[in-house]
Amino acid sequence: MSLFDRAKMFVATTKGKALVVVGTASATIVQYASAATLNESISPILTSVTELFTPLLALIIAAVPLIIALAVIGFVLGIMGAILGKLRM
């Protein structure tokens, strides 16, 4: 079997698998195709996800000053340690 024949066979099997996947997905989605069903099922999920953003943002805003303060303290202590290390000789 030549390389060309194997490539044609691969393309044919890939197209078949893609067709099965698309058919299965479309058969599954058709059940939920009405706008009322989508609105009833997705709207609560989106609402709860957006409600999570407010506490997460508050947590990030509360943590950023602490992270900056620790970085400044670490920088200053590093400089002091380097200076004191040079003085010991």
Whether 70 maps to a domain, the answer reads yes
Whether 15 maps to a domain, the answer reads no
**The pLDDT value given to residue 75:** 96
Give the residue numbers spanning the domain of 57.
Answer: 49-89
Whether 44 maps to a domain, the answer reads no
Whether 88 maps to a domain, the answer reads yes
How many domains are contained in the chain? 1
Q: CA 1 to CA 13: how far, in whole Å?
A: 16
Whether 81 maps to a domain, the answer reads yes
* Low-confidence spans in the chain with pLDDT less than 50: none
pTM of the model: 0.42
Give me the DSSP letters along 29-78: HHTT-SHHHHHHHHHHHHHHHHHHHHHHHHHHHHHHHHHHHHHHHHHHHH
Whether 54 maps to a domain, the answer reads yes
